[in-house]
């Protein structure tokens, strides 16, 4: 079989499979009066690059009787040039698909998106420039020097800072969303997650925090992040914004919160937890 532009044989299914197909950050979904679904077909519904098989377990993603699901495979690919969605289908932003697909199918779509993005960006060996070849589902190997590549994940922290009965909410300079969120930032090389939280909070707001504790984490496939959430208490300092990062930040009382981030985000889960949990105060 000839190599594809991704240096990978096109492994297409021999029978109907679920297709996670992307045009940039948009996912192709089928819809009818029952809802929105991942397309189920033997062939990709649009002309796509070489397909990649994705492992995962999702119950129902199509209307009608429950398929003998364990036998249905998942494939992911992307289109090389924009294409109109076939009848009964639509391109939907991956983020917006959360509300349409539910958490489990959205999570698998996120994994598919990350792997498609990784493959497009790991076509050549970073050590010697040779075209990389597939090695396992999640690795590629250089046939010349043997270097192996795995999908890179970029960890970032996000922190809810409590001060009495209020929390710190901030607006980033580059966000056009109407919501205020939590302080967040990428982990630096050689840094612990805890050190990263203290550094980001101090750099962006001038505040010092204490009593740092882990909350939870969330894959953030835009394109390959992992958000790690922490709760902290205000310790000292006056708010002094890092102008390149934040346009606004303030402590908000629980009775006077501004519009909050959508439920998809870890930030929102943390804020909801704080609202529900008097012991956090």
Tell the residue number behind the tokens 């046939």, with chain if given: 143
CA distance 266 to 94: 16
For residue 222, give the 3-state DSSP assignment.
coil
Per rule CB under 5 A, is residue 128 in the interface with Zn ion?
yes
The span of 21-29, 102-110, 123-131, 241-249 binding Zn ion (CB under 5 A) equals 123-131
Q: Which is nearer to Zn ion, 31 or 147 (CB)?
A: 147
**How crowded is residue 169: how many other Cβ atoms within 10 Å of its Cβ?**
23
Q: Which tokens belong to 269?
A: 């889960």
Number of residues that bind Zn ion (CB under 5 A): 8
Q: Which is nearer to Zn ion, 59 or 127 (CB)?
A: 127
Print the binding letters for residues 10-49 with Zn ion: x by CB under 5 A, - otherwise.
----------------------------------------
Print the binding letters for residues 245-264 with Zn ion: x by CB under 5 A, - otherwise.
--------------------
Integer CA distances (angstroms), 17 to 21, 119, 141, in order: 12, 21, 27
Print the binding letters for residues 134-173 with Zn ion: x by CB under 5 A, - otherwise.
--------x-xx-x--------------------------
Q: How many CA atoms lie within 13 A of 76 on its CB side?
A: 22
Residues 31, 36, 41, 43, Cα dihedral to 10°: 80
Minimum distance of Zn ion from residue 128's CB (angstroms): 3
The span of 103-111, 118-126, 244-252, 265-273 binding Zn ion (CB under 5 A) equals 118-126
Q: Are 29 and 51 in contact (CB under 8 A)?
A: no
Q: Which tokens belong to 134?
A: 């597939």
Q: Which is nearer to Zn ion, 6 or 30 (CB)?
A: 6
Binding site for Zn ion (CB under 5 A): 125, 127-128, 130, 142, 144-145, 147
């Amino acid at each position: 079989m000839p190599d594809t532009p991704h240096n990978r044989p096109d492994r297409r299914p021999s029978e109907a499979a679920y297709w996670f197909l992307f045009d940039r950050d948009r996912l192709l979904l089928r819809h009818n009066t029952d809802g929105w679904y991942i397309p189920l077909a033997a062939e990709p519904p649009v002309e796509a690059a070489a397909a990649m098989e994705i492992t995962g377990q999702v119950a129902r993603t199509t209307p009608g009787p429950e398929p003998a699901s364990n036998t249905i495979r998942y494939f992911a690919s992307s289109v090389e040039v924009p294409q109109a969605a076939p009848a009964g289908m639509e391109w939907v932003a991956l983020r917006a698909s959360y509300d349409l697909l539910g958490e489990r199918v959205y999570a698998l779509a996120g994994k598919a998106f990350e792997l498609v993005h990784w493959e497009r960006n790991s076509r050549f060996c970073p050590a010697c420039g040779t075209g990389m070849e597939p090695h396992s589902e999640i690795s590629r190997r250089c046939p010349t020097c043997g270097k192996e590549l795995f999908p890179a994940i970029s960890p970032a922290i996000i922190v809810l800072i409590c001060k009495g009965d209020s929390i710190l909410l901030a607006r980033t300079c580059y966000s056009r969303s109407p919501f205020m969120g939590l302080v967040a930032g990428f982990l630096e090389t050689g840094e612990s997650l805890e050190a990263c939280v203290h550094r980001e909070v101090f750099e962006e707001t001038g505040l010092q925090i204490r009593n740092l504790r882990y909350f939870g984490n969330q894959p953030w496939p835009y394109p390959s992040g992992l958000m790690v959430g922490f709760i902290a208490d205000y310790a000292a300092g006056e708010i002094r914004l890092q102008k390149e990062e934040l346009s606004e930040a303030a402590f908000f009382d629980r009775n006077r919160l501004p519009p909050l981030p959508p439920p998809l985000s870890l930030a929102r889960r943390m804020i909801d937890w704080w609202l529900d949990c008097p012991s956090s105060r």
